[in-house]
Amino acid sequence: STLPLREMSASSDRKNPHIAFLPSAGMGHLKPFCSLAAALSERGCDVSFITVHPTVSAAESCYVSDFFAAFPRIRRLDFDLVAFDPSGIASTDPFFLRVEAIGRSAHLLPALLAASSPPFSALVIDIFLASTFIPIAAGIGLPSYIQFISSAAMLSLLAYFPTCSVGVSDFDIPGLWRVPKASIPRALHNPSHPFTTQFVENGRILAKASGILVNTFEALEPESLAALNRGKVVPGLPPVIAIGPLQAASLGEGSPLPWLHGQPARSVVYVCFGNRTAMSKEQIRELGIGLEKSGCRFLWVVKSKIVDREDGEVELEGLLGEGYLGRVKDRGLVMKGWVDQEEILRHRTIGGFLSHCGWNSVSEAALHGVPVLGWPRGGDQRANAEVVARSGLGIWVKEWSWEGEEDVVMGEEIGKRVRQLMEDKDLQASVARLKEEAVKAVAENGSSGKGLAEFIGMLKMR
């Protein structure tokens, strides 16, 4: 809800907080940061948004420029990073390397912020950047808040992981549930992996943040939110505030997909694995067979490269096999590149979502009431899929392959599960209930609406 009156008085209100946002690399990080920044700006806060160039993906680059064009009141702070040589780092993931590069420029933050006025009230940072930036912000007397862009379940895992002496095996998160080793992000199985070092440092520094904002809501993750806030997971955490499901910053007209308009209500399964999860050619072929065998209508965004700029060179026909596109053309649309996912999820013809369970996707499915068939592929996605299954938002087939596993899930099996997703009436009913709860949560008097107000209140007290 936009509040034009408050917005008008915003500039005259001296107690108005000025907040700096610093997102991490990747659309899954950028988008929720833009959503929160826009929401706070609309509620009268002064907002500065720190941006790094060039972005890793083309999608980020487009999104950032649309964002600043749509929100002229939000100040853009360009962050020029120091030169960075990635050759000594045991990771080739371009998004991970960017996180490293940003972290190594953390010492430049005070000068960047000092050049802006009015003085800042808080820094909102991504969890990936927490351990490098919280001490720097503290050094200039600035409180840091973490915007945690994954689930509260994943936050519990992050908070507990550094204290858990059992090494990496199945473990119980106190106050919650057992996490099987297979659900722990693969890199964490290796204690000397650079991701593990970062993860442990970020887990340890949570206690130094003034608050942790999570894109979730009570009805979706009641157990995790309670366990975190009652000190059951680990003692000493700052307030963990649910503020979701975040509504995307409105960047103008969405891209309409004319193909959808011709389809019957709730008949189409939407298939997308996020902005950086590529699939092997073999698995893409089987997925194609599965969608064909399901007999359902489908809209499939194919992704075969981690960075979208490289996807442009890949031919769909070669990926999917000759004749495929022709065979499915009456009920399937196959696309490559960026689509406006929220525009699709909110469309009346969408009846299911085959998703990797990136947390933004899960939260968008809840907000738009679309049942999920979870096929987590790596990172936090199994922790998120656990939430999908527990909350009644969807189905998770635990046996399906995951990062580092070579076995291909066969088309027959995929087709069967897709049909199940589209036909399960009980699931449809529980998802409809969750959607109602999501809508209630973000209302001004809902749990997440109050969470946002609580956060603004904390900043005004400074």
Beta bridge partners of 76: 49
| Residue 407 CB partners (closer than 8 Å, separation 6+) | 401
**Listed ranges 5-13, 253-261, 357-365, 433-441: which one lies at the site for ligand UDP (CB under 6 A):** 357-365
Give the nearest distance from C-beta 67 to ligand UDP in angstroms: 13
**Listed ranges 7-15, 287-295, 338-346, 429-437: which one lies at the site for ligand UDP (CB under 6 A):** 338-346
**β-pairing, 178-179 with 171-172?**
antiparallel
Q: Would you count residue 30 as binding ligand UDP (CB under 6 A)?
A: no
Query: Between 84 and 338, whose beta carbon lies closer to ligand UDP?
Result: 338
Interface pick for ligand UDP out of 283, 361, 391, 447 (rule CB under 6 A) = 361
Interface pick for ligand UDP out of 340, 413, 437, 454 (rule CB under 6 A) = 340
Cβ burial of 155 (10 Å; 0-12, 13-18, 19+) is buried
Which H or E run contains 203?
A: helix 194-205
For 332, the 3-state DSSP assignment is: strand
**Listed ranges 12-20, 112-120, 256-264, 339-347: which one lies at the site for ligand UDP (CB under 6 A):** 339-347
What residues from 362 to 381 belong to the interface with ligand UDP (CB under 6 A)?
364, 378-380
**Listed ranges 48-56, 66-74, 337-345, 450-458: which one lies at the site for ligand UDP (CB under 6 A):** 337-345
Interface pick for ligand UDP out of 106, 338, 398, 420 (rule CB under 6 A) = 338
Give the nearest distance from C-beta 387 to ligand UDP in angstroms: 12
Interface pick for ligand UDP out of 158, 219, 237, 299 (rule CB under 6 A) = 158
Query: Between 183 and 341, whose beta carbon lies closer to ligand UDP?
Result: 341
Residue 44, Ramachandran bin (φ over 0: left; ψ between -120 and 50: alpha; else beta): left
Give the Cα separation of 376 and 454 in Å (integer). 33
Q: Would you count residue 127 as binding ligand UDP (CB under 6 A)?
A: yes
Give the Cα separation of 184 and 382 in Å (integer). 8
Q: What is the largest CA-CA distance in the chain?
A: 65
Q: Give the DSSP per-residue string, 68-117.
A: HHH-TTSEEEEEPPPP--GGGSS---HHHHHHHHHHTTGGGHHHHHHTSS
Query: Between 243 and 456, whose beta carbon lies closer to ligand UDP?
Result: 243
Give the Cα separation of 1 and 187 in Å (integer). 40
Q: Would you count residue 341 as binding ligand UDP (CB under 6 A)?
A: yes
**Listed ranges 25-33, 174-182, 313-321, 439-447: which one lies at the site for ligand UDP (CB under 6 A):** 25-33
Give the nearest distance from C-beta 262 to ligand UDP in angstroms: 21
**β-pairing, 268-272 with 394-396?**
unpaired
Q: And the tokens for 448?
A: 């997440």
Q: Would you count residue 354 as binding ligand UDP (CB under 6 A)?
A: no
Query: Between 248 and 459, whose beta carbon lies closer to ligand UDP?
Result: 248
Which H or E run contains 270?
A: strand 268-272
**Listed ranges 24-32, 105-113, 139-147, 170-178: which one lies at the site for ligand UDP (CB under 6 A):** 24-32
Q: Would you count residue 271 as binding ligand UDP (CB under 6 A)?
A: no
CA distances from 220 to 120, 360, 377, 437 (A): 33, 13, 21, 8
Q: Would you count residue 28 as binding ligand UDP (CB under 6 A)?
A: yes
Q: Would you count residue 168 as binding ligand UDP (CB under 6 A)?
A: no
Give the nearest distance from C-beta 343 to ligand UDP in angstroms: 8
Give the Cα separation of 88 and 91 in Å (integer). 9
Give the Cα separation of 152 and 432 in Å (integer). 22
Interface pick for ligand UDP out of 17, 23, 143, 185 (rule CB under 6 A) = 185
What residues from 48 to 107 belong to the interface with ligand UDP (CB under 6 A)?
95
Of 452, 340, 315, 361, the C-alpha closest to 3 is 452
Q: Would you count residue 277 as binding ligand UDP (CB under 6 A)?
A: yes
The torsion angles phi and psi of 134, rounded to 5 degrees, stand at -60, -45
Q: Would you count residue 386 as binding ligand UDP (CB under 6 A)?
A: no
Query: Quick one: CA dihedral 421, 292, 403, 314, positive or negative?
Result: negative
End-to-end alpha carbon distance in the chain: 26
Give the nearest distance from C-beta 345 to ligand UDP in angstroms: 8
Beta bridge partners of 416: none
Interface pick for ligand UDP out of 67, 199, 298, 396 (rule CB under 6 A) = 199
What is the CA angle 59-63-65, rounded to 5? 125
Q: And the tokens for 332?
A: 């399937």
| Residue 358 CB partners (closer than 8 Å, separation 6+) | 28, 273, 274, 275, 277, 381, 384
Q: Which residues are catalytic?
A: 29, 126
Q: And the tokens for 338?
A: 């960026």
Q: Would you count residue 403 as binding ligand UDP (CB under 6 A)?
A: no
Q: Would you count residue 270 as binding ligand UDP (CB under 6 A)?
A: no
Please report, as a single letter, which amino acid is at residue 41.
S
Query: Between 316 and 410, whose beta carbon lies closer to ligand UDP?
Result: 316
**Listed ranges 37-45, 271-279, 424-432, 454-462: which one lies at the site for ligand UDP (CB under 6 A):** 271-279
Q: Contact residues for ligand UDP (CB under 6 A)?
A: 26-28, 31, 95, 127-128, 150, 154, 158, 185, 198-199, 202, 272, 274-277, 301, 338-342, 358-361, 364, 378-380
